[in-house]
A and B are shown apart, each in its own frame.
Chain A
Amino acid sequence: MNKLTNRDELIALRKECAGALALETKRVLVCAGTGCVSSGSMRIFERLKTLMEERNIPVSVELAHEPHGQSVGLKECGCHGFCEMGPLVRIEPQGWLYTKTTLEDCEEIVTRTILCGERIERLSFQKDGTAYPKQDEIPFYQKQTRLVLEHCGQIDATSIREYLGFGGYAAFETALFDRTPDDVIDEITKSNLRGRGGGGFPAGRKWAQVRRQTEPVKYVVCNGDEGDPGAFMDRSVMEGDPHRMLEGMMIAGIATGAQEGYIYVRAEYPLAVKRLRRAIAQAEELGLLGDNILGTAFCFTLHIARGAGAFVCGEGSALTASIEGKRGMPRVKPPRTVEHGLFDKPTVLNNVETFANVPLIIARGADWYKSIGPENSPGTKAFALTGNIVNTGLIEVPMGTTLREVIFDIGGGVRGGKQFKAVQIGGPSGGCLTTEDLDLPLDFDSLKKAGAMIGSGGLVVMDEDTCMVEVARFFMHFTQNESCGKCVPCREGTKRMLAILERIVEGKGEEGDIELLLELADTITATALCGLGKSAASPVVSTIKSFRAEYEAHIREKRCPAGECQKLKRIWIDPALCKGCSKCAKACPVNAITGQIKQPFSIDLSQCIRCESCIATCAFHAILEG
């Protein structure tokens, strides 16, 4: 491909790509997100390709360059979001979504669907006896507003030409030729775009602060270190629509005067790294990155820095230290990143989703953007819906949508007909919301008031069988493990809190433990150096607030109401069912079971190690748990 040297060439190329897209009258979009790839979607892709080639069906895996006839587009696209039902295959122009596709289905997809336009009933999503052929009709998608994720599942995630064909880099073009940097910042400020990484700091204000710095060298950094367990929104954008994120970063470059950018990606996301590398190479090849872009004075280059597995690197100053090749430890602020960031230069640091919103705002205007969601938190938010929920997956809804709509209408409620208990929002820095909070609108300010935070957008649903003390212990274990060790409150405080929680779930809790936890939480929150430490105690505080009785049952009655804590499990022999065969006593590795032959046996719980060997050996199902 030749480098584009001016605006007209970009417009012409966009037109050419749109024309090539129009010739793909039928399109088969195979989900190539991490979820579907793990369940074998790429083998389905290859099989479909072979089958079509065998039948001499003109198939274009890449958007064609030369004038050509009609063809069937077969594409690797980004995450459709409905991961629970993967591997997913979308059929266009009908807009059908095939779910749980297997290699055996491929032949039929080609002969019936592609050649004859027939729908395969069994592959359509079904619920309560109704089939939902079209993707948009599936309840999971109906209440969503997919803006940032609009291309995920719709376009080839590996092709800059498809992105251009769908109008890509038009916002960048506008920013470069029709606006001044101040105009761009004004538009972002007016849109009230707030950082999607957790804090919700207005992006426009951040950009303006960097623009004001007189230092000639500045950086744009994208935080793709999505470390919250149970969150994968940013990964889906990086994998499914990498160019949109690059476009957002390039616009930030124009607005702030930066000439270089870094994308910091988690080590656990190899596919995202691969797609981003490819996207950057494609943009360089077209001259959209590099020197004198499109014949202007604007120069911009992008680099990828791979993380190496440290949660704390999601914190701004730790992230920049890591890019510099150092231990990723936060530093005292001020000075802030906008003044002294990467390599000590002024730096714009936003997360993936924030940058992905930017092209939308520049292309459609701040007024349009503000018409979505509440005034103080406009726009949409992507959430990863996981845990004990029917429809696990990636969703995008307008800010201000209630938790009830997200969990029950989109998510389909709790798995296995169980009762909803709580939802953890914001990962290890966030809090638990309960049935009482179901009508809470999901936006930055409402959640803050409720003692939780939107965080990066992970929603982990928990059912009645989940022990909230164990959840608190789990998060504390995570944070303790990830504490960088620089400041004492976090390093020592989280250790002490974890020790208390471990004691409680083992049935060794003492009176006063809850108060001690709260006191430690107060101190850590007030004195820790960075966001990781300051929010480390949040899951504990919020579970104590909503589920204090559960803590008390563990401490006072040595009982786990949810029946999850292994060490508090009660295993007992039902005398009515026991035949006194002594098999269990022989199986018990610690001789905790005693009794006389042909008389009911009994278990000494002080000896029992809850290995459940006895349950497995009993032929009469006389040994029960609970």
Chain B
Amino acid sequence: MQPSFDYRAVDEILSLYEKKESNIIAILQDVQERYHYLPREVFPYLASALGVSEARLFSVATFYENFSLEAKGRFVIRVCDGTACHVRKSIPILERLRKELNLSAEKKTTPDGGFTVETVSCLGACGLAPVITVNEQVYPAMTPDKASELVASLRAQLAAEKAGERA
């Protein structure tokens, strides 16, 4: 247990579930929803609460695409690269976003913690292809230029939020 880490949120999540192995995924999902990633500190804590090894938790956390062990940006931009979006040219949109934000397939989050750009295999909104999402918001029928505009407006929002924090 890390003394500097506030475990109250984790306790709250744990209180919703029966402490059995089959709930591991659901519990990790709730933790991720709370922190937007799985902080390292929660693993030993959850392991002892659930009576399983830390390795058991890591095995699950690293297997599934949705779990992230690294903190994500304030805006998580997910570019759908399902077949329907792909044939309607989703890759140029992804490339434009990466170029705008100076990111790559390996470097997914900007150093200031503002943006994360990743792909997702299919959001099931194929009628609106190509689609991207920013956090939970869906943006239909995207083009590279629309993506640039979107980044500009998100940057402005980010700057406003930072100014607000300082004030």
B26 touches A229 (CB 8 A): no
- 1/0 contact trace for B81-99 toward A, CB 8 Å? 1111011100000000000
Residue among B24, B67, B121 having the largest count of chain A Cβ atoms under 10 Å: B121
Contact of A325 among B22, B82, B83 (CB under 8 A): B22
Complex CA–CA separation, A522 to B123 (angstroms):
32
Interface residue? A387 (CB, 8 A): yes
Contact of B84 among A226, A268, A387 (CB under 8 A): A387
A460 touches B84 (CB 8 A): yes
Q: List which A85-105 residues lie within 8 A (CB) of chain B.
A: 86
B127 touches A328 (CB 8 A): no
Chain A, residue nearest B20 (CB)? A325
- Which residues of the other chain, B, contact A322 by a CB distance below 8 angstroms? 25
- Which residues of the other chain, B, contact A229 by a CB distance below 8 angstroms? 81-84, 86, 121-122
Q: Could you jot down 23 A-B contacts, CB within 8 Å?
A: A38-B139, A39-B128, A39-B140, A83-B125, A83-B127, A83-B128, A228-B122, A229-B81, A229-B83, A229-B122, A232-B122, A235-B124, A305-B25, A308-B25, A308-B67, A309-B66, A322-B25, A323-B22, A386-B129, A387-B126, A393-B127, A460-B84, A482-B121
B121 touches A478 (CB 8 A): yes
Interface residue? A261 (CB, 8 A): no
Q: How far is the CB of B160 from chain A (nearest CB, A)?
A: 23
B66 touches A308 (CB 8 A): yes
Contact residues on B (Cβ < 8 Å of other chain), bracket: 35 or more
B24 touches A325 (CB 8 A): yes
Complex CA–CA separation, A227 to B124 (angstroms):
9
B22 touches A392 (CB 8 A): no
Contact of A34 among B24, B87, B125 (CB under 8 A): B125
Stretch at the interface among B4-12, B57-65, B145-153: B57-65
Q: List which A30-48 residues lie within 8 A (CB) of chain B.
A: 34-35, 37-39
Interface residue? B41 (CB, 8 A): no
Interface residue? B1 (CB, 8 A): no
Known: A324-B22, A328-B63. A387 touches B128 (CB 8 A): no
- Which residues of the other chain, B, contact A39 by a CB distance below 8 angstroms? 128, 140
- 1/0 contact trace for B7-36 toward A, CB 8 Å? 000000000000011111110110000000
Q: How far is the CB of B108 from chain A (nearest CB, A)?
A: 15
Summed over the interface, the residue pairs from A and B with CB atoms below 8 Å come to a total of 132
Interface residue? B138 (CB, 8 A): yes
Q: How far is the CB of B30 from chain A (nearest CB, A)?
A: 10
- Which residues of the other chain, B, contact A466 by a CB distance below 8 angstroms? 87
Residue among B20, B65, B83, B88 having the largest count of chain A Cβ atoms under 10 Å: B83
A387 touches B87 (CB 8 A): yes
Q: How far is the CB of B47 from chain A (nearest CB, A)?
A: 13
B88 touches A226 (CB 8 A): no
- Which residues of the other chain, B, contact A326 by a CB distance below 8 angstroms? 21, 24, 59-60
Contact of A226 among B20, B25, B120, B124 (CB under 8 A): B124
Residue among B59, B129, B136 having the largest count of chain A Cβ atoms under 10 Å: B129
Q: How far is the CB of A496 from chain B (nearest CB, A)?
A: 20
Interface residue? A327 (CB, 8 A): yes
A474 touches B128 (CB 8 A): no
Chain A, residue nearest B86 (CB)? A474
Q: How far is the CB of A414 from chain B (nearest CB, A)?
A: 11
